[in-house]
Amino acid sequence: MRDDHRGWGTLKLLLTSAGISNPSIHDTLVDLLGKPIAESNALFVPTAIYPFPDGAAKAFQAVSGKAKSPLCELGWKSLGVLELTALPSIDKAVWAATVQEADALLVWGGDPVYLSYWMKQSGLAELFASLRPETVYVGVSAGSMATSSMFGETYFAPPNCSGERLSSEDIVFAGPEGELTMTLVMAKGVGLVDFAIIPHVDYDDDQDVANAEKWAGRLPGPTYALDDETAVKVVDGAVEVVSEGHWKLFSSYRPGRSGQGATYRRPGDTPRCLPCP
């Protein structure tokens, strides 16, 4: 599936739900890099995971290649850690050069509101436009969500971290033991793309798919609901879904409109474009 959204600059994006989880996504990463992973230098951004319980331990698992979502253990030529919360206390000329030299920015999952806040506060977001055209941004879960102009995240409890929240409201999802009330927080991302992403959708669970559709219905623009075998590739504004699993694209919500348009794809389906409003 391809669509065109021009004007996002030269940064190439690979927005995943669960990292480099299958050969198709792996091959896409290599294609974007333009060379083998073993010849590519990467920087890993763990910042989003820290608001989670045991966030420090989970950050270590990720950087040491022991997390569930494959990313750091792919055999990079070099792998460094870029901690966004530290950057405001360091001369920008020091760390910006390291970012500009990297072939890939590996942005880990966690809390996307916290991540987008620190992308802006650290100065990383304003650096994106000046990165080399060869640079590839690889997002995992929250790392993908935060690239949007605006996104929504759901919480069981009120967020306990920094972030620029635009609104907060209850949303009721269906669960195996009845209705489940969560908090939907709307926030501005860094604006690399004009669509939103909902990761980790289980397409074998009808309730989970229905919950994703309800979630997407609260968002102001097109929304990709991805399972863990799916990623979205963006190059020069052209969007392409890479999948060995299932995904849906929900068209943007408009007040007063009954329901939403959706494109649903399974492996082997012939792709077609759903124009974004």
Q: What is the pLDDT of residue 198?
A: 97
Number of domains in the chain: 1
Q: Is residue 183 assigned to a domain?
A: no
Domain with residue 129: its CATH number is 3.40.50.880
The angle formed by the CA atoms of residues 19, 21 and 25, to the nearest 5 degrees, is: 85
- The predicted structure's pLDDT at residue 48: 96
Structure confidence at residue 175 as a pLDDT band (50, 70, 90): confident
168 located within any domain: no
Judge whether 157 lies within some domain: no
Q: What percent of the chain clears pLDDT 90, i.e. is strictly above it?
A: 79
Task: Give residue 10's pLDDT.
Answer: 76
Asked if the model's pLDDT at residue 85 lies above 50, the reply is yes
**Residue 272 placed within a domain:** no
> At 46, is the pLDDT very low, low, confident or very high (cuts 50, 70, 90)?
very high
With respect to residue 167, please indicate whether it lies within any of the assigned structural domains: no
When pLDDT is cut at 50, 70 and 90, the band that residue 252 belongs to is: low
Checking if the pLDDT of 236 tops 90, the result is yes
pLDDT value of position 213: 95
Residue 258 has pLDDT above 80, yes or no: no
Question: Which residues, listed in sequence order, are joined to residue 65 by a DSSP beta bridge?
Answer: none
Q: Region 30-42: what's the mean pLDDT?
A: 98
**pLDDT value of position 42:** 98
pLDDT at 256 > cutoff 80 = no
The per-residue pLDDT for 221 is 92
Quote the domain boundaries for residue 75: 2-150+190-265
Residue 184 lies in a domain: no
Q: Is residue 271 part of a domain?
A: no
- What is the predicted pLDDT for the residue at 273? 28
Spatial CA neighbour of 15 closest among 159, 151, 129, 121: 151
pLDDT at 265: 41
Model confidence at 104, in pLDDT bands (50, 70, 90)? Answer: very high
pLDDT, averaged across the chain: 88
Q: How confident is the model at residue 191 (pLDDT cuts 50, 70, 90)?
A: very high
Type of residue found at 34: G
The pLDDT assigned to 272 comes to 28
User: Strand 104-107 and strand 136-140: pairing?
Assistant: parallel
Starting at the edge strand found earlier in the chain, the sheet holding 230-235 runs 2-4, 238-243, 230-235, 12-16, 136-140, 104-107, 41-45, 78-81
Residue 9: pLDDT band (50, 70, 90) is low
Q: Is the pTM of this model over 0.85?
A: yes
> Does 211 reside within a domain?
yes
In eight-state DSSP terms, residue 16 is E
